[in-house]
Amino acid sequence: MNKSPEISAGSPQEDETLDQDEFFAAPPFDLLAVPVLGRFLKWRHSRTWLQIPLFLISMVMILQGLVGMQISPKNLATVLTWVHFRGALVLALLCAGNLFCLACPFMLVRNLMRRWIRPRFAWPRALRNKWIPVVLFALVLFAYEVFSLWSSPWLTAWVILGYFAAVLVVDGLFTHGTFCKYVCPIGQFNFVAATASPLEVTVRDHEVCDSCQTRDCIRGRRAPSSDLVVLQRGCELALFQPAKVGNMDCTFCLDCVHACPHDNVGMLSRLPAGELMADPQRSGIGRFSRRKDIAALTVIFCFGALMNAFGMVSPVYAVESWMEKRLRIANQVTALGLLFALVIVIEPVVLLGLASWVTRIAAGLKSGLLTIGVRYSYSLAPLGFGMWLAHYGYHFFTGLYTIVPVTQNAFAELGWPILGDPRWTLVGLPKTFVEPLEFGFLLLGLAGSMLVAWRLAEEDAQEHPVRAFAPWAVVCLLLFLCSAWLMTQPMDMRATMMAG
């Protein structure tokens, strides 16, 4: 920040300016430097101790989902999965970072398996991208609607079991963090959302890394007696700390923190979504502008948020019914499939294609339409995250206390009613509190997306950044208005397969 030469020494204005200088020059907040918590996280076994409770909870969810009362609002499998887990996940991403991946129960089982089973294969080079998770993510969203997963404890339990099985198969066969990096749809959701998180696992002092000879953060810490013995593994997702930028592909596993012999990796604060405002070379990823797969993931993340919310409100009936009549579609599943294709494929292609075309013409850019579209599609990540926050936050807050009667009920079902009769009147926070919060999340997302698009436009069209910015601002505004409209619609929790 420049100081004004007119300001005399000791004036209040100068004091204020100096305070601001000090503020911006201050070292970032480091979660790992916080007493007790930081020490715990730096402990080598901290992740395991965070994973164990989630693993035990997931076992209880599976058990009650399979054999418990098959009424969704009364079963731990459905309540914890679709109300509390999803809500806590996005709120943790908003307030800190990718904490679910840090405490991932699937990785606990996988790490245990790898004590006995060593994977022998490398993930095929052709699949080292996000195309598989893009498809899986879209399929998960579609399956959620088609099978009404929220209304079936039994199916929800099988989804969790299937996830455990998939992790064990993939990481039992393939080396490193293959499942996390190239398969896991939840992980990809977290990676995109975490680009807007305020914390990042990163290097504290790059000069220390410059003089580092061992590179333990990626190679792992080896035994002095033999280089083949790994005492502490390094990053399994191929993120080399000194060249790592942002949260993409970072599971917050803290392996690099534990491996670094110089205690030079922290969990530092940063500008949320700041990593989307530039396009540096990223370790393990490359440049965002050259990653069509990650751009597609971001687009599905954003438009999937719209579709996921749209599938839960009354107007979806009217659209489905119109499609059934006009297109003579006999069943609801096909209609829903077409609706999905329209919202998460055709709509973004048309919208982003048009925005790219206008950007190219108005700002006089020489890049191709696809290049422009890929570059600016990342600006949609904060808005998409705002939509997910609004949606999942709504269910989380309005159903916050339901965990109490559902847990009481679970104990009662076991014939062990130590927590008393279920208090079904306990539900959650009132809508008058939650609805403004929803709009706040949406506005936050809109502001983040606008800022990212503006910074990219400034770089692309230095003379007339508004010309490059305007088309993307219109796209963001349209998506925001759609989301805001969705939030005002009456919810309609249909169960497609059962009703069909």
Partner 1 sequence: MAHPGMAPVFSDAREMAPGNYESSLNFNMGGDWVVLLHITLADGRKIEKQIDVKGVQSR
> Where along the sequence are the contacts to partner 1 (CB under 8 A)?
71-73, 75, 78-79, 82-83, 148, 150-151, 314, 317, 395-396, 398-399, 402, 406, 424-425, 427-428, 490-495, 498-499
Q: Which is nearer to partner 1, 177 or 405 (CB)?
A: 405
Using an 8 Å Cβ cutoff, are 294 and 246 in contact? no
Q: Which residue has the tokens 């003089």?
A: 211
Q: How far is the CB of 485 from partner 1 (least distance, A)?
A: 15
Q: Which candidate, 133, 155, 132, places its Cα nearest to that of 82?
A: 155
Q: Which is nearer to partner 1, 79 or 344 (CB)?
A: 79
Q: Which is nearer to partner 1, 117 or 493 (CB)?
A: 493
Q: How far is the CB of 408 from partner 1 (least distance, A)?
A: 14
Q: Which is nearer to partner 1, 72 or 449 (CB)?
A: 72
User: In angstroms, what CA-CA distances link 418 with 64, 76, 406, 415, 427?
Assistant: 17, 17, 13, 9, 21
- Phi/psi class of residue 489: alpha, beta or left (left: φ > 0; alpha: ψ in -120 to 50)? beta
Q: Which is nearer to partner 1, 356 or 496 (CB)?
A: 496
Q: Which is nearer to partner 1, 61 or 196 (CB)?
A: 61
Question: Taken in order 131, 135, 136, 137, is the CA torsion positive or negative?
Answer: positive
Three-state SS for 262?
coil
Distance CA 117, CA 299 (A): 37
Q: Which is nearer to partner 1, 51 or 151 (CB)?
A: 151
Using an 8 Å Cβ cutoff, are 351 and 478 in contact? yes
Q: How far is the CB of 66 from partner 1 (least distance, A)?
A: 16
Q: How far is the CB of 207 from partner 1 (least distance, A)?
A: 50
Q: How far is the CB of 325 from partner 1 (least distance, A)?
A: 17
Distance CA 204, CA 151 (A): 46
Q: How far is the CB of 323 from partner 1 (least distance, A)?
A: 18
Using an 8 Å Cβ cutoff, are 131 and 300 in contact? no
Q: Which residue has the tokens 């700390």?
A: 241
Q: How far is the CB of 419 from partner 1 (least distance, A)?
A: 18
